[in-house]
């Protein structure tokens, strides 16, 4: 879930639609497999990093970039002294490594959570959030969790053991709690990794993988 900042709802919605569109990478993984997905995400990671470097050090590129995306960027994404990469670059890099490291069901679930759950939380928090928790809202966190539950029920699992779903839910609870805290790391980096690490560790702990 994104921090609540002074950005109008139209631009917030556009930002989240772009964010949600990244869930396509999970569908690519489901239908086209590891090799194609890892190659595409690897190429995307390199291109996104290069774009951010050009955005910072090339004035013409910066002007074009801000003209196209300026209205949906966060303040720290515009201010290069605070963040080298945008949230879009971070999510591509993090999911690339998650696909490389973790089993397909774990990676797919993590990608859906960082796209769908995070987007739902930000929009609900912005539109209906009343109870503040740090710089987030309770309402947004509740929707983060509820959308995450739906994802857990609908996505493939590593095993046929019903206990795995309980492991997923526990991983989601921890991820939801950590998401609330004002951690000075882009949530597109740490949220999918937190979920994946807990999920995978518990699978190993209980000899399910």
The residue-averaged pLDDT of 2-21 equals: 77
In a domain, 156, yes or no: yes
Output the average pLDDT for the chain: 93
Residue 82 pLDDT grade (very low, low, confident, very high; cuts 50, 70, 90):
low
In a domain, 149, yes or no: yes
pLDDT score, position 78: 79
Q: Is 70 helix (H, G, I), strand (E, B) or coil?
A: helix
CA dihedral (40, 43, 18, 154) in degrees, to 10, reads 30
Identify the CA nearest to 84 among candidates 117, 40, 51, 108: 51
* pLDDT over 70 percentage in the chain: 95
Give the Cα separation of 169 and 124 in Å (integer).
Answer: 21
Burial of 82 by CB count in 10 Å (0-12 exposed, 13-18 middle, 19+ buried)?
Answer: exposed
In a domain, 2, yes or no: no
Domain that holds residue 180: 9-205
Residue 128 pLDDT grade (very low, low, confident, very high; cuts 50, 70, 90):
very high
Q: Does the pLDDT value for residue 99 go beyond 60?
A: yes
In a domain, 4, yes or no: no
The residue-averaged pLDDT of 161-187 equals: 95
Residue 80 pLDDT grade (very low, low, confident, very high; cuts 50, 70, 90):
low
Which region among 38-52, 65-79, 126-140 has the lowest average model confidence (pLDDT)? Answer: 65-79
The residue-averaged pLDDT of 131-138 equals: 94
In a domain, 1, yes or no: no
pLDDT score, position 22: 96
Q: Is 133 helix (H, G, I), strand (E, B) or coil?
A: strand
In a domain, 35, yes or no: yes
CA distances from 170 to 24, 68, 92, 197 (A): 25, 40, 25, 12
End-to-end Cα separation, the chain, in angstroms:
30
pLDDT score, position 2: 43
**How many domains does one find in the chain?**
1
What does the buried/exposed string (b/e) look like for 8-19 if buried means 16 or more CB atoms within 10 Å of the residue's CB?
Answer: eeeebbebbeeb
In a domain, 158, yes or no: yes
Q: Is 137 helix (H, G, I), strand (E, B) or coil?
A: strand
pLDDT score, position 81: 58
In a domain, 3, yes or no: no
């Amino acid at each position: 879930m994104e921090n609540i900042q002074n950005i109008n709802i139209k631009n917030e919605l556009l930002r989240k639609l772009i964010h949600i569109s990244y869930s396509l990478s999970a569908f690519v993984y489901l239908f086209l497999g590891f090799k194609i997905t890892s190659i595409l995400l690897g190429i995307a990671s390199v291109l996104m990093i290069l774009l951010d470097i050009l955005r910072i050090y090339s004035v013409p590129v910066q002007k074009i970039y801000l003209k196209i995306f300026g209205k949906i960027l966060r303040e720290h994404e515009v201010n290069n002294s605070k963040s080298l990469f945008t949230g879009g670059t971070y999510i591509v890099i993090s999911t690339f490594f998650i696909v490389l490291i973790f089993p397909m069901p774990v990676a797919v679930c993590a990608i859906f959570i960082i796209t769908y759950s995070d987007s739902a939380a930000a929009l609900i928090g912005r539109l209906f959030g009343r109870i503040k928790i740090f710089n987030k809202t309770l309402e947004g966190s509740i929707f983060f969790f509820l959308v995450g539950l739906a994802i857990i029920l609908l996505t493939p699992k590593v095993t046929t053991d019903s206990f795995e779903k309980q492991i997923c839910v526990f991983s989601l609870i921890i991820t939801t709690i950590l998401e609330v805290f004002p951690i000075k790391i882009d949530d597109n980096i740490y949220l999918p990794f937190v979920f994946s690490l807990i999920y995978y560790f518990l699978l190993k702990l209980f000899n399910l993988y």
